[in-house]
Amino acid sequence: MNTDRMAQAFAPFEALAADLIPHAADGDDGSHDIAHILRVFRNAMAIQAEEGGNARILAAAVLLHDCVSVEKNSPHRAQASRLAAEKASGILRQLGWADEDVAAAAHAITTHSFSANLPPETLEAKILQDADRLDAIGMVGAARCFYIAGRLGSGLYDPFDPLAAERPLDDKRFAIDHFETKLFKLADGFQTETGAKFAKARHDRLKTVLAMFIDEI
């Protein structure tokens, strides 16, 4: 699909998307590709419609929030959002953005990451964090969990103790351990009322996914 056609999916920010899509997705990680960015954009716009905030800054932050890719098992993973913010700042300055708008987009990108563990201080930053975390729970979140596990060479589950009743949780070895170590914790940390409402529905779906998985094995 060409850039112009992809940009149409980011209406009403088609022109901005056309400028930023070539920089948006770094590497070959299918859990952080243009499809992920589009899902986060739709989440963000749905939250912004209820909560307010600067939609243009939010759209730019969404489009560039994964412009630097660091693998999940890298020791530098916690630096990914800072590196993405630095790269995004340069891109937006080249497009003629005002310094204050560049700084606002960069702050949202820096604080969106779970690994970075930094508090979002603006409404746009809170919305981006919520929108990105929505994509980590629910059915899509489960799919991404299994995709990443395969990418990193992990097993699906411990066949002798799948729910870790008598062993420590280890999501580097077993995909479904990641549900308990991270994914089930995300719904409690949403920043906006609208995001929290969406998160509850997806959290319930994620619980159902694990229950069906355990039933089948």
pLDDT band at 81; cut points 50, 70, 90: confident
Residues carrying CATH 1.20.58.1910, the chain:
136-217
Q: Give the pLDDT confidence score for residue 29 in this predicted structure.
A: 75
Question: What fold, for 1-123?
Answer: Hypothetical protein af1432 (1.10.3210)
* 21, 150, 162, 184, 187 from 147: Cα distances, Å: 23, 5, 18, 18, 21
Please state at what angle helix 99-111 crosses helix 123-134, rounded to 10 degrees. 40
pLDDT band at 173; cut points 50, 70, 90: very high
Q: What pLDDT, in 10s, does the model give residues 40-53?
A: 999 999 999 999 99
Task: At 209, list the tokens.
Answer: 């996914």
pLDDT band at 24; cut points 50, 70, 90: confident
What is residue 174's three-state secondary structure? strand
List residues bridging with 123 in a β-sheet: none
pLDDT band at 77; cut points 50, 70, 90: low
The architecture of the domain spanning 136-217 is: Up-down Bundle (1.20)
* 36, 46, 155 from 8: Cα distances, Å: 16, 17, 38
Please give the Cα distance from 156 to 108 (Å, whole number): 33
Which residues have C-beta within 8 Å of that of residue 210, sequence separation ≥ 6?
142, 176, 179
Q: Give the pLDDT confidence score for residue 198 in this predicted structure.
A: 97
Average pLDDT rounded to a whole number, residues 59-75: 81
Highest mean pLDDT among 2-16, 34-48, 72-86: 34-48
Residues carrying CATH 1.10.3210.50, the chain:
1-123
144 and 135 Cβ atoms separated by less than 8 Å: yes
Q: Give the pLDDT confidence score for residue 120 in this predicted structure.
A: 94
Average pLDDT, the chain: 92
Q: What pLDDT, in 10s, does the model give residues 107-134?
A: 999 999 877 778 899 999 999 999 999 9
pLDDT at 144 over 90: yes
Average pLDDT rounded to a whole number, residues 174-199: 96
